[in-house]
Structure 1
Amino acid sequence: MTVHFVGAGPGAADLLTLRAARMLERADVCLYPGTYLDEQVLSHCRPEAVLIDTQHLDLDQITAHLTEAHHAGHDVVRLCSGDPSLYSALAEQTGRLDARGIPWDVTPGVPAYAAAAALLGKELTVPLIAQSVVLTRTQARSTAMPQTESLQAFARTGATLVLHLAITRVRALAAELAAEYGPGCPAAVVANASQPAELVITGTLSDIADQVEAHGLKKAAVILVGPALDPAACRGGESHLYDPRRIRPDQPART
């Protein structure tokens, strides 16, 4: 049998892809990250499916469950919060499976930052304002960041910055980023996007930490920073893709 790594999306059961829902319906065994998922996601599983919460398991224990299910001939799904391409430990898990000769595949999911942007009603790439999005994290009680990937270097580009796994350090991070973006730069925090407990906080780098601490946020939140979040950002310019002069060259220039 194949081990299926499946993006569970930001949490809501109806933000799974159709493929992901079908895989859950067929699964004999489902390993899921209980810290980040709305339990309704698991409603796609059959009543007799074995459900294993991985939030208190290490990688070797998770691999043991995947290996056992595979050798038992079970269809097994390993749910990953958001999309497996971001902070899912996919490389570590698939490396262990490769060493055991166990086949696997990956199904993408809606990433948390996309759900956050949707709640904010924001495009993260605005013409003439920001055309890049940096998805990153910071180091606290976690694996060290590469020396070339400092927040200052990313912030210096003026790109829209999305910080994962960083909410407990929001005050220090806001101060650090304000040195590059300026204290008045728009900032937002979205917690539990798409779930019943979702929370959206907007402000600037000068006040976002006060708001986060007042709400007592400790996990399951992303931080977004950058001028593209400014309500006035849409006045920066318009996309060349839809410029009438490109589509119909005989049209006069827009004034």
Structure 2
Amino acid sequence: MDNSQRPQVYFIGAGPGDPELITLKGINAIKRCRTVIYAGSLVAPEILDHCIAGAAIHNSASMNLEQIIAVMVAATGEGHSVARLHTGDPSLYGAIQEQMAELDQRDIAYSVIPGVTAVFAAAAALRTELTAPEQSQTLVISRIAGRTPVPEDEEVARLACHGGTFCFYLSVNRFGEIARQFLDQGWSPQTPVAMVYRASWPDELMRRGTLADMAGQIAESGVNKHAVVIIGKPLGAIGAYSKLYDRDFSHGTRP
């Protein structure tokens, strides 16, 4: 039996919140699965409407790794595929590597279906381009160290030594520390910053400010989780236009 016929686990990016921000491929996979494991309140409940009638649906919010794997093993052992729904894109802070390692040990097939991550939903809400010409051509996605540490060479102070646009996940409650380290590395206090809470959800909340005042804005908003913070020049006034559509700029399909 080839992998297309074997029962398997689909790791599916369910998007940042808006139930329409899941790929058609992800929806089609859900419709093939008699077992679904979803990441609790981080996944829009409307996405579960795509489950087939009678599907066994498990909320992983209170499950540990062993329990999740046990459900996958039981389902595939009975010849059923499993939809494992992760928020955003499963490759970012999705904890899928350990799940795949456990499936490898058991010779259970799996595949990954990408999704829309929160920083891109946030950029859409802000109506901004994260890699703007002559302002930033680099996007850094990171988080501040907490209960889960970060490697020493990825600490905020070291990241701030470089230019680019920075997006911090899982860090909104400690933005004051992030701002201080950017300022210590010589960044202007007037560097544009944006905070987007629950990007693409109905209760989405945005704040725009600077390295100097965003910590205060976040405190005033009461937001302490489920938000991304973006730092960088593209959040401010538009810089140079792209060469891509410049009438005097030639390329392979336009002389």
Q: TM over 0.5: same fold?
A: yes
Given that 1:158 and 1:227 are in contact with CA atoms closer than 8 Å, whether structure 2 keeps it comes out as: no
**What does residue 158 of structure 1 align with?**
163
Query: Which residue in 2 is equivalent to 1:192?
Result: 198
Contiguous gaps of at least 5 residues in structure 2: 1-6
Distance apart, 1:80 and its partner CA: 1.1
Q: Is the 8 A contact 1:190 1:198 kept in 2?
A: yes
* Structure with the larger helix share: 1
More displaced, 174-183 or 199-208?
Answer: 174-183
Matching residue's letter, 1:169: R
Counterpart selection for 1:241 from 241, 244, 252: 244
Q: Deviations over 1:4-42 (max 9, x none)?
A: 000001111111111111112222111111131221121
Displacement, 1:202?
A: 1.1
Q: Distance in 1 between matches of 2:48 and 2:200?
A: 15
Residue-pair matches, total:
244
Paired letter, 1:86: L
CA distance in 2, matches of 1:115, 1:126: 17
**Residue 39 (1) aligns with residue 45 (2):** yes
Q: Deviations over 1:30-74 (max 9, x none)?
A: 111113122112122124211111112222221111111111211
TM-aligned CA deviation for residue 182 of structure 1: 2.1
User: What residue number does 1:251 align with?
Assistant: none
Rate the CA distance shift 1:166–1:48 in 2: closer, same or farther, 3 A: same
- Normalising to structure 1: TM-score of the pair? 0.91
Q: 1:172: how far off?
A: 1.6
Correspondence for 1:146 among 145, 151, 157: 151
How far is 1:88 from its partner? Answer: 0.5
SS in 1 for 2:120: helix
Secondary structure at 2:85 match in 1: strand
What's the CA shift string for 1:86-128, capped at 9, x where partnerless? Answer: 1111111101100111010010111111000000000001111
**Residues of 1 paired with 2:46 and 2:182: CA distance?**
37
TM norm structure 2: 0.91
Aligned ranges for residues 82-93 of structure 1 at < 5 Å?
A: 82-93=88-99
Output one character per residue of 1:128-172: Cα deviation in whole Å (capped at 9) or x when no partner.
111000011111111x21111121222222210000111221222
Task: Give the fraction of aligned pairs with identical amino acids, expressed as a percent.
Answer: 38
How large is the RMSD of aligned CA atoms in angstroms? 1.4
1:167 & 1:72 partners in 2: Cα distance?
43
What amino acid does structure 2 have at the position aligned with 1:117?
A: A
